[in-house]
Amino acid sequence: MTDLLQTEDAGGVRLIRIHRPDKLNALNAAVIDALDAAFAAAAADPAVRVVVLTGSGPKAFVAGADIAEMHALTPVQGRDFSLRGSRMMRRIETLPKPVIAMVNGFALGGGLELAMSCHLRIAADTAKLGQPEINLGLIPGFGGSQRLLRLCGRAATLELCLTGAPIAAERALQLGIVNRVVPAAELEAETMKVARQLAAAAPLALRGLLDCVNVGGECALEEGLEYESAQFGLLFSTRDMREGTSAFLEKRKPVFDGT
């Protein structure tokens, strides 16, 4: 792991912390590549059941794409930079295990885009979220206009992207951009509680569910229903499904091993 990321593993939960606090964890090409490699490694490691992503320092989750790095890019380099970030975020979105964004401060521009590529977002009450690219003569380049639209509709997407003004965590909760807002001092404990709960769940069922939502978000209802039925049926081949149903019938807690 590079020094741009710090990771900790505990009980099936991998915590990945973006570590560039002096630049409010801004996403330059090196951080994007490090995240891409870190998520590929997390996907491939059966001991990792859930990933939590956060930023270092008290101020920021991620304050955006690195403006200093973008400043001198040519159009072709700008497109490549956008594709680089977008591909990394698509890897997160399609990861076969849950990813929780622990939003500990500013999630602006690429930071909000990164959080939106995660499956759940838990924010500190002090966090500020927004798409301020318009203030730089730009628009979101890592999927912000598209994921925001799918998460919370046209009105809020246009408000955030046209004005560039950041919003408080509570308003992001009202708009459906984040799942939960908790006092900043409790953010890590509350996030880890959710992460541990997911780490104890059946990994293949979690994967099936993530696939259903990823596929279903982009297709017609009939197709999505067919896909869900196929995934549902597939889970009858797993030991964990027998374990889960047996444990219920035997009135005990299930122990899922991912097979």
Could you tell me the strand order of the sheet in which 13-18 lies? 5-10, 13-18, 50-55, 99-103, 120-124, 180-182
Single-letter amino acid code for the residue at 234? L
Max CA separation in the chain (angstroms)? 64
- The DSSP element (H or E) to which 228 belongs, if any, is helix 221-234
Structure tokens at 93: 């979105």
Identify the active-site residue in 8, 69, 93, 133.
133
- Whole-angstrom Cα distance, residue 29 to residue 32? 5
Least distance in angstroms from the C-beta of 143 to ligand COA: 13
Least distance in angstroms from the C-beta of 132 to ligand COA: 4
**Measured distance between the N- and C-terminal CA atoms of the chain, rounded to whole angstroms:** 28
Answer yes or no whether residue 84 interacts with ligand COA by CB under 6 A: no
- Whole-angstrom Cα distance, residue 55 to residue 45? 22
Answer yes or no whether residue 68 interacts with ligand COA by CB under 6 A: yes
Q: Is 159 a catalytic residue?
A: no
Among 24, 101, 156, 177, binds ligand COA (CB under 6 A): 24
Structure tokens at 82: 């956008």
Among 133, 181, 195, 199, binds ligand COA (CB under 6 A): 133
Answer yes or no whether residue 66 interacts with ligand COA by CB under 6 A: yes
Q: Is 222 a catalytic residue?
A: no
Answer yes or no whether residue 109 interacts with ligand COA by CB under 6 A: yes
Answer yes or no whether residue 12 interacts with ligand COA by CB under 6 A: no
Among 12, 55, 85, 132, binds ligand COA (CB under 6 A): 132
Which part of the chain contacts ligand COA (CB under 6 A), choosing from 7-15, 23-31, 118-126, 220-228? 23-31
- Whole-angstrom Cα distance, residue 205 to residue 44? 17
Which residues are known to be catalytic? 113, 133
- Note the residues at the interface with ligand COA (CB under 6 A): 23-24, 26, 63-68, 106, 108-110, 132-133, 136
